[in-house]
Amino acid sequence: MSLTKEDILTLLEEVKDPEIPVLSLVDLGVITDVEVSGDEHVTVRMTPTFAGCPAMDYMRKDVERTLEKHGISKHTVIMSFDKPWDSNKISEKGRQHLKEFGLAPPPKYNMVLDLDILEYATCPYCNSENTTMRTPFGPTLCRSMHYCNDCRQMFEQFKPL
């Protein structure tokens, strides 16, 4: 049986973000390309969410382990900044998983990221927009802390990047 790009992407749905275990690297948008050559060699290209992300090596190794677990011994996993990541790359399914996990998905933006959108987040618990950013510094570099004035819950937002 010949492997396809779609087959590999389906297998890689198993690889979860180490900081948000309900979100696959595919849905996060860090898997930027998959190639399958004629001799069944698989090349996976991925990009970190930001430079210096401490999870980069772990994610790369997890992709390699998953390929090997499924009998794909000929593979190359390349971490590259050729296609920089931004939060618009998170799939709709990924956005839903973030919300179910209690993280407000980042707002989508066009072309230029306006830093004012950091202030606004929809509460993942009650869907209220009556929220206040408490601090732009969350438990990781890619999250900020917000408070919902309606359901009175603190929540994190995955920052738009």
**49 within a domain of the structure (yes/no):** yes
Structure tokens at 88: 């618009």
Tell me which residue of 26, 15, 81, 11 sits closest to 48, measured CA to CA.
81
Look at residue 14 in the predicted model and tell me its pLDDT.
97
Look at residue 54 in the predicted model and tell me its pLDDT.
77
What is the amino acid identity at position 116? D
Look at residue 104 in the predicted model and tell me its pLDDT.
92
- 154-158 and 131-135 beta bridge pairing: unpaired
How many domains does the structure of the chain reveal?
Answer: 2
Report how far residue 4's alpha carbon sits from residue 99's, in angstroms, rounded to the nearest whole number: 31
Q: Which domain holds residue 66?
A: 5-79
Look at residue 70 in the predicted model and tell me its pLDDT.
96
Cα 3–Cα 4–Cα 10 angle in degrees, nearest 5:
100
Report how far residue 18's alpha carbon sits from residue 136's, in angstroms, rounded to the nearest whole number: 21
Of 27, 48, 79, at which residue does a domain stop?
A: 79
Residues 62 and 103 in one domain: no
CA atoms within 13 A on the CB side of 85: 27
Q: What is the CATH number of the domain that holds 14?
A: 3.30.300.130
Look at residue 39 in the predicted model and tell me its pLDDT.
84
Tens-binned pLDDT, residue by residue, of the chain (161 aa): 688 999 999 999 999 998 889 999 999 999 999 999 988 899 999 998 877 777 888 999 999 999 999 999 999 999 998 888 888 999 999 999 999 999 999 888 776 656 666 788 899 999 999 999 998 888 877 788 999 999 999 999 988 77
Look at residue 113 in the predicted model and tell me its pLDDT.
59
pTM of the model: 0.81
Residues 11 and 63 in one domain: yes
Q: How far is Cα of residue 67 from the mean position of the Cα atoms in its chain?
A: 19
